[in-house]
Amino acid sequence: MSTLTLDAPARRGAVDLTARWFLSAQLRVAKWFWAIAVVVSVLAISVYALVADEVTTSVVAFGRQATMWVPFSIFIGLTAVYLPVHVASGLTRRSLSRGSVIGALSTALLYGGGYALLLVAERATYAVFGWQWKIAEGVSVNVGSSGSYLAAFLVANAATLVVAYVSGLLVAAVYLRGGGWWGTLTLPLTVGPLLALSSLLGWGTGLFGGVRGLLLGSVLALVVAAVLALVYDQLVRGARVPTKR
């Protein structure tokens, strides 16, 4: 962590400074993540086209879970590391809470946008080769369609990413505030909502099937993210700074 970042001009504000730090840390990982994602996707589609009798299903769609859990785990580590530095620099816990949530929202836009671009590029590639394109088995989306279902799916995915990254912040705050036992015992509450939404909004089937269902699910996900952010804010404001003897 650079001290230059913490000594930046005060006019930026503590919240902006914190958000920039979290986002810049995620950007360093995102560069490698998306570079690897593009290479792996191209290789996987090439192998799929060679060995399959008919190419019908998206390959990029299977990378959705990675876009959730990689930044999620990084947010846990960033929060645990940054809290003592933030407070020692004379910045408030309130600015840490707000700045880190803004960083989580920005990261969700980054990964949601990257995933959307890669998925749309794959869709266009399938159209060029005359292959049928489906997000997943059982969910048929024709290449030549209006794309309303795909757009709704991408909105729902971005909303799920917001829940994932705020959940990562909350997990770190619970561990810092309550210790290892409480942090582990409360995982069903801190991570459970993410697992439920990830399953329900995965491919837009069942309860949240269709365009309207995906959009309603997106609103639900944002409400869940807001609740998690409020709980996180309260925990951060009362968190003690870890010390070493």
User: pLDDT tens digits, residue range 40-99?
Assistant: 999 999 999 999 888 888 899 889 999 999 999 999 999 988 888 887 788 888 999 999
Are 59 and 45 in contact, with CB atoms under 8 Å apart?
yes
Contact 24, 2 (CB under 8 A): no
Structure-token match 């292959």, residue found? 131
Percent residues over pLDDT 90 in the chain: 57
Strands (E), the chain: 134-136, 139-140
Which of 210, 215, 106 has the alpha carbon at shortest distance from 157? 215
Whole-angstrom distance, CA of residue 213 vs CA of residue 220: 10
pTM: 0.88
Residue tagged 């099937």 (tokens): 209
Annotated domain spans of the chain? 11-237
